Amino acid sequence: MAKFDENAKPFTNKWLDERIGLNTLKRVLNTEYWIPKDINFLWAMGMILAATFGILLISGIFLLMYYKPDTNLAFDSVNYTIMSEVGYGWLWRHIHGVGASLVFLIIYIHMFTGIYYGSYKRGRELIWLSGMGLFVAFSAEAFSGYMLPWGQMSYWAGMVITNLFSGGSLEAYGLVEWIRGDYVPGDAYLTRFFMLHVLLIPLVIIGLIVLHFGTLRLPHVNNQEGADIDYEESAALYKAGKKKESKVIPFSPVFLSKDIFVMGVYFILFFYLVFYHFNFAMDPVNFDPADGLKTPAHIYPEWYFLWSYEILRPFSKDVGLIAFALSQLAFIFLPFIDRSPNVAPAHKRGLFQIWFWVLLIDMIVLTAMGKLPPTNETFAAIGWYSAVLFLFMGPALFVITIFEKKIEKGA
């Protein structure tokens, strides 16, 4: 057994260090966790996501104390009990609702940052893959949470999405019933999505966040130029006090100070939305109680699912489902589709830069068309073309990057 100092007072630094390696932990995770200096505010999105998840967790715990997962009680427990009887219940609910929407905005910014700077390439594949795992888990968390207020949109979105599992012409209605626990969304359906939302998926998310951080430690964070930094050399320079010459900074407190500042700006926006502009995240349609006999005029998912919804919608049943499934998986394979040897920002990668902006704009167009009524022929046509374009983006990336020239170091 290791040696333990008899005279060390409990819970002092030395006492803790002997037992849990406190100094090593601090060094590895904070003071000597080296981050490149050449970064911009987009590098703070990870910490913003972690903070937003924390806020969702805390507000969720408060809501959980009063929410009732029962089709007869759910709507009123949210809209009456929490909103008017529980002290500051309205605040927690608005924070939770707005947070759930904003977390996806930041996820998308985080994702597109990764794509732009090539932060998924050799050595960083697992960062990308665990990140995609988080995206899937957050999507499931968002969907299951959307069921809980048991309003019109909860019910009908639940109906539409679970119906997808019938697999088009496969007509696997048995599977749909198994998922719902009933022929239509009902009590069994609500209670299981409640369980998923408050227990199973959050556990998975927490696990994946740990994994995501873990995958980051050895390859280190990418930087604005995709430069391959000699971390030992730069760290030695920094420790020797040559901070100007060193290309790195410690995670804590230097990198963190910037994160906290960006977080402050983000929280101004966050709470502006919570207090003054929450309707975008809390659809008025969902303030009508669920009614299985009254289909809303327009059924649409929350904004962050619209692009994939629009890949499903313009095609015939089976083609649409296959396209939808492909689009859900497409991003996962990004590190393996991109054949280019370069880790560099898109503006230095020729055709890849065009590919990037086309992808971004195409997804925004898909997002818009996913909400606009498809009964309008122009919208339906734009939706169809942008969905087809999206499906070609994967093969296009493969071809573009095969022919991409290697960028010489120091160029």
Partner 1 sequence: MRELKILAVVVFFSLLTYYLVEPYAHHQMHMKVDANGDEIHIESHGFTYDGAADIAEAERKGDEVLVSKKKAFWSKVVQISKIKGDVVVGEASFALCIGCHNGANFNMGGAIPPNLDHVGGIYDKNYLIALIKDPAMAGNVDHKYKNTIEHPMGRIQVMMTEDQQIADVVAYMIAKKAGEVSPKEAFNEACVRCHAMRYVNVTQLGDTPKFKHEKDELAYKIKVIEEQDAVKAYMGKLPQDLSMMIRARSEHFMETFVENPQSQLPGTSMPRVGLNQAGYDKVKAYLTEAGDPSKKAREKLGPWVIAFFVLFTILAFFWKKSMWRDLH
| Closest CB to partner 1 among residues 135, 270 | 270
**Beta carbon nearer to partner 1, 284 or 395:** 284
Task: Name the residue nearer to partner 1 (CB basis): 101 or 139.
Answer: 101
Least separation in angstroms between CB 120 and partner 1:
19
Residue 286: CB atoms within 10 Å: 23
Neighbour tally for 22: CB within 10 Å? 15
Report DSSP letters for 210-224, one per residue.
Answer: HHHHHHHHTT----T
Q: Residue 56 or residue 274: which is nearer to partner 1 going by CB?
A: 274
Q: What is the rounded CA–CA span in Å between residue 222 and residue 87? A: 45
| Of 35, 38, 39, 46, residue with least CA distance to 266 | 46
Number of H helices and E strands in the chain, helices first, is: 17, 2
Question: Shortest gap between Cβ of 251 and partner 1 (angstroms)?
Answer: 12
Q: Cβ of residue 1: shortest distance to partner 1, in angstroms?
A: 41
Q: What six digits make up the tokens of 327? A: 């689009």
C-alpha pair distances (Å), 25 with each of 17, 29, 32, 35, 255 = 9, 6, 10, 17, 17
CA atoms within 13 A on the CB side of 270: 24
Of residues 69, 65, 249, the one with CA closest to residue 154: 69
Binding site for partner 1 (CB under 8 A): 37, 40-42, 76, 79-80, 83-84, 89-91, 94, 105, 109, 243-244, 249, 253-254, 257-258, 260-261, 263-265, 267-268, 271-272, 274-276, 280, 284-285, 287-289, 297-298, 303, 306, 360, 364, 367-368, 371-373, 376, 379
Pick 316 or 378: Cβ nearer partner 1: 378
Nearer to partner 1, 72 or 169 (CB): 72
